[in-house]
Structure 1
């Protein structure tokens, strides 16, 4: 289950080491657009150091994720601690779906429909959703998908 995110991080790490990235100062594209190649390299190093434990205890940021978050049209995101992992419920117009995630330094990692996603804090504008644009305390799940606290 962790092979796909790890493979993505390895690709980003290689991209960060390529001469074109060093000379041009550009960033590599990834499944998480907000992550630069340097951040991916740092994350990869931290995962190697942790023995790929899958979870880092980030006590200072747990409160930034746990609880209920509201989206437009009755959608919601609920994050609950579950042992050393987190239960994630995403309720959309089709109903609720449950996932399990790991909190790491760059966000809450989980897989949905074969796609590795990282839930991370942001504001309403970062969600890409006009209904949330004026909010300040939000979580971004994917492009044009986010949830905020009122």
Structure 2
């Protein structure tokens, strides 16, 4: 009887080791680690989420586009004084900033300062986002 118990416990020990070595040998990370490793991080552009103010009532609201995934944003903006110069645009992170399409073609939203906006009203600002000279939005 003791011999049978010893054989049984040895078999259990061996089968347990075999399962662990197969998992380790496969090189497959557990699901939590794989999810975290596969999702790119966008720390700079993620910090841009929120409201940015331009001149004369112009604004830019950036939010994450959760449906599209990491690195995708919705840009709600009033970018001109005319009523038709507003809208919500889908953007995506690039090495330079956030790319989006709007009337006039592809645009790039990039970090800058008040001087980069090209507008004297924003000249003293340090934390700004710029689409082009003459179009920028800043935070205080």
* Number of corresponding residues: 95
> Could you tell me how far apart the structure 2 residues matched to 1:57 and 1:114 are?
30
Which residue pairs with 2:120 in the alignment?
130
Larger Rg: 2
The yes-or-no answer on 1:93 pairing with 2:76 is no
Q: 1:109-148 alignment to 2 at 5 Å?
A: 109-148=99-138
> Could you tell me how far apart the structure 2 residues matched to 1:94 and 1:58 are?
36
Question: What displacement does 1:134 show?
Answer: 0.4
TM-score by length of 1: 0.58
Decide whether the 8 Å contact of 2:45 with 2:97 is kept in 1: no
What stretches of structure 2 of length at least 5 have no aligned partner?
Answer: 1-38
1:126/1:112 Cα in 2 relative to 1: closer, same or farther (>3 Å)?
A: same
> Could you tell me how far apart the structure 2 residues matched to 1:104 and 1:58 are?
12
- For the aligned residue pairs, the C-alpha RMSD in angstroms reads 1.7
Which residue pairs with 1:80 in the alignment?
63
What stretches of structure 1 of length at least 5 have no aligned partner?
Answer: 1-55
Decide whether the 8 Å contact of 1:107 with 1:118 is kept in 2: yes
1:57/1:143 Cα in 2 relative to 1: closer, same or farther (>3 Å)?
A: farther
> Could you tell me how far apart the structure 1 residues matched to 2:93 and 2:40 are?
7
The yes-or-no answer on 1:69 pairing with 2:52 is yes
1:126/1:58 Cα in 2 relative to 1: closer, same or farther (>3 Å)?
A: farther
